[in-house]
Amino acid sequence: MASTTVVGLLGATGETGTSIVNGLLEAGGLTIIALTRPSSVSKPAAVALKDRGVEIRALDLKASQDDIVTSLKGVEVLISAIGPMEQLEQIPLATAAKTAGVKRFLPCGAMPVVPAGGIHMLRDVKEIVYNHIKTLHLPYTIVDVGWWYQIAFPPLPSGKIDYALGLPNPCLPGDGSQPNALTDLRDIGRYFAKIVVDDRTINKYVFVYNELHSPTQIFDLMEKLSGEKLDRQYDTLEELQAKIADARPKIAKDPTNFMLMVQQVSAEYLISWGIRGDNQPEYAKYLGYVTSKELYPDFKFKSFEAYLRDEVMAGKAKGVYDELRAKIVEMHKTH
């Protein structure tokens, strides 16, 4: 691909989308177009992107195919980082991308490694999108990113690091021994910047990650760095399955209830990476992924321990999902 590749990005102001924008800008040599709802074109977040050299272009996923095709004019690589409740809106987007001549589509993956077929609700919804892309013969790359550093650590008894907690879970899944692949959220965009100009990743599933740590190792590390003793409570498989069984019929009656989806998806994640051990590079390779360690062995990143020590413990970390955090805490209290 030429160094002037035109990259279109949906969801540019979300947590993952922001990382992708930052990574693409840092890499340089790319024309970046933030594809946003017409109602959001003039919002402060979009204006801030424009000030950084990102083109802002309106795209309405509920518009006609002709209008979506027009919005995609000139885009060579299309990246989607849209929200979990919007995944199926990528089906008309993919169809329009094929008509518009997009050379490669990176749909919204960006999750831990999970096999398709009943293990994880969100993974199965994404699979519907992936299958549609394949029926179009549209070149694609699926990028999964493991578990973020920013949501991988538990709270401390003192409350010292509550400001930085992402999606707090005070319990260890299973016996806490399963290794889990972790990636710094800020590195996701740096990986994407390499992938979009790398022809080796076309029509491939790519798993990017920095390090492996089990929940027990993370609790040990937190105790070492903080000097505090953590109360180790465990989520059993049966307890997590009960949360899923509680959520499913409620979601069937109220499919737009985001917090019910969080309840089910969170429990499914803990079963997948914490008990089954899905989110590991060897399992990813078994499923057919190529890993970032194979593709980019010289990729430099901050270790998870350094992140905890130099940022979280030092009061310098940036929290994620600020609006959702309080609701997650309350959900854990009531279950």
CATH of the domain at 108: 3.40.50.720
Q: Distance between CA 165 and CA 320 in Å, rounded? A: 7
Residues 117 and 221 occupy one common structural domain: no
* CA–CA separation, 83 and 323 (whole Å): 14
Is the Cβ–Cβ distance between 23 and 36 less than 8 Å? no
pLDDT tens sequence across 265-321: 999 999 999 999 999 999 999 999 999 999 999 999 999 999 999 999 999 999 898
Q: What is the pLDDT of residues 162-182, one digit of tens each?
A: 999 987 778 999 999 999 999
Q: Cα 41 from chain centroid?
A: 24
pLDDT, one tens digit per residue, over 129-173 is 999 999 999 999 999 999 999 999 999 999 999 999 987 778 999
Domains in the chain: how many in total?
Answer: 2
Is there a single domain that holds both residue 108 and residue 198?
yes
pLDDT at position 166: 84
pLDDT by residue (tens digit) across 254-274? 998 999 999 999 999 999 999
Average pLDDT, rounded, for the chain = 94
CB contact at 8 A, 124 and 196: no
238 and 91 within one domain: no
Radius of gyration of the chain (CA): 20
- Supply 97's token pair: 């991308």
Q: Are residues 177 and 313 in the same domain?
A: yes
pLDDT of residue 2: 45
The vertex-254 CA angle with 250 and 257, nearest 5°, equals: 95
- Decide the pairing of beta strands 180-183 and 211-213: antiparallel
Confidence of residue 327 (pLDDT cuts 50, 70, 90): low
Residue with tokens 């001549």, as numbered in its chain: 101
Domain that holds residue 272: 149-182+210-277+307-333
Q: Nearest to residue 111, comparing CAs of 141, 76, 148, 57?
A: 148
CA 39 to chain centre: 25
126 is catalytic: yes
**Any domain includes 284:** no
Given 50, 73, 103, 126, which residue is catalytic? 126
Interval 212-233: pLDDT, tens:
999 999 999 999 999 999 999 9
In a domain, 286, yes or no: no
Query: Structure pTM?
Result: 0.94
Give 195-208 pLDDT, tens digit per residue.
Answer: 999 999 999 999 99
